[in-house]
Amino acid sequence: MTPVLVFDIETIPDIAGIRTLYELDEQVNDGDVAEMAFQIRRQKTGSDFLQHHLHRVVAISCALREGDNFRVWSLGGLEDGESALIQRFFDGIDKYTPQLVSWNGGGFDLPVLHYRGLIHGVQCANYWDMGEDDKNFKWNNYISRYHLRHLDLMDLLALYTGRANAPLDDLAKLIGFPGKLGMDGSKVWDAYQQGKLSEIRNYCETDVVNTYLVYARFQLMRGQFTPARYEQECELVRSTLSKSPESHWMEYLAAWPIVKI
């Protein structure tokens, strides 16, 4: 069985990079640097969502389904910088060649990891293989939008039509999963400025669990899981989380009623 690796990232404005591009010195504080970048972006697009290369990765969380086990964690420690987090992520792909699953990973997470990995000199030969080293990758690689070695659930369910994209939080809740609890991507920068990196990582972890559960539901829809197997997957996730003493999993389980299909 190919390991299934669900991933998600959380980002903040790349303050150092913005300083470099706009020739700002250290006398301008980080908050003002970010607000200036937001204002420039709003003037151009009407939104303060920065371009992919100006996002700095502060958390990468994963859910791994392999063999009889399900595991959720955030890469590295609180003290690890962006380069180390990104290298760890790609090292895992190089070592295990998992099935990658994401929600909007093709539209956001992976392009950010590409740009930031390029800036830091990260290496990831297996990930970038498109058939040069392994001929099997010619027809199923991580890079092609229409190959399934990386399955962007949001993109596929919308039939590759951006106007049909659905938020993960909405879809998870409509199915009966907890969805997001207390934080979303728009709150990450404020939380980071308040020193709440642990909370950001916890939030990122709940997002990968939501994504895995939606993936299990998708496998049921496409006939890869029987109803019994789907229920087993949900129970495996539930039982795994129940063994953790961490408060965000207690809150998550409390918001997840047991509903049989």
* pLDDT tens track for 4-18: 999 999 999 999 999
Look at residue 154 in the predicted model and tell me its pLDDT. 98
Question: What percent of the chain is modeled with pLDDT above 70?
Answer: 99
Which secondary structure element, helix H or strand E, spans residue 63, and what is its range? strand 55-66
Q: Supply the pLDDT for residue 160.
A: 96
Q: What is the mean pLDDT of residues 53-58?
A: 98
pLDDT band at 86, cuts 50/70/90? very high
The 8-class DSSP code of residue 98 comes to P
> Residue 26 — very low, low, confident or very high, per pLDDT cuts 50/70/90?
confident
User: For residue 104, how many C-alpha atoms fall within 13 Å in the half-sphere facing its CB?
Assistant: 14
Question: Could you give all domains of the chain from N- to C-terminal order, each with its CATH number?
Answer: 4-11+58-254 (3.30.420.10)
**Would you state the pLDDT for residue 131?**
93
Report d(CA 77, CA 88) in Å as an integer. Answer: 11
The model carries a pTM of: 0.96
Residue 261 pLDDT greater than 80, yes or no: no
Q: Which residues contact 145 (CB under 8 A, 6 or more apart)?
A: 106, 152, 155, 160
Where are any strands of DSSP class E within 150-204? 150-152
**DSSP β-ladder status, 4-13 and 55-66:** antiparallel
pLDDT at residue 142, rounded to an integer: 97
User: Using one digit for the tens of pLDDT, what is the confidence trace for 111-154?
Assistant: 999 999 999 999 999 999 999 999 999 999 999 999 999 999 99
Output the pLDDT for position 210.
98
User: Which burial class, exposed, middle or buried, applies to 19 when counting CB atoms under 10 A from its CB (0-12, 13-18, 19+)?
Assistant: middle
Residue type, 162: G
Instruction: Specify the higher pLDDT residue, 95 or 120.
Output: 120
How long a stretch of residues is the chain? 261
Q: Model confidence at 1, in pLDDT bands (50, 70, 90)?
A: confident
| Predicted confidence (pLDDT) per residue in 158-185, tens digit | 999 999 999 999 999 999 999 998 888 8
214-250 per-position pLDDT tens digit: 999 999 999 999 999 999 999 999 999 999 999 999 9
Average pLDDT (63-74) is: 97
pLDDT of residue 244: 96
For residue 150, what pLDDT is reported? 98
Average pLDDT, the chain: 95
